[in-house]
Amino acid sequence: MRVWKWIGLAGILAGVATGAAVARDERERRHYEPSEVRDRLHARHDEAVARQATEGDASD
């Protein structure tokens, strides 16, 4: 029975740690202006398209 208590405690601690990480990421995300988010998304899209194009060329 003691093992189950430790497993339950570990599960609770994992949930708390996950919640803290999500809250931290949310705070960081909210510091961006909408134009900054848009620019970053466009840059990531351009990188993905370029990467896909180079992978497509390599498979030919």
Q: Which two tokens stand for residue 49?
A: 């398209």
- What are the pLDDT digits (tens) for 3-60? 999 999 999 999 999 999 998 888 877 888 889 889 999 999 999 999 998 887 766 5
pLDDT, residue 25, reads 87
* Distance from C-alpha of 14 to C-alpha of 22, rounded to nearest angstrom: 12
Neighbouring residues of 40: CB distance < 8 A, sequence distance ≥ 6: 32
Q: Which two tokens stand for residue 40?
A: 């970053």
Domain limits of the chain?
Answer: 2-58
pLDDT, residue 60, reads 55
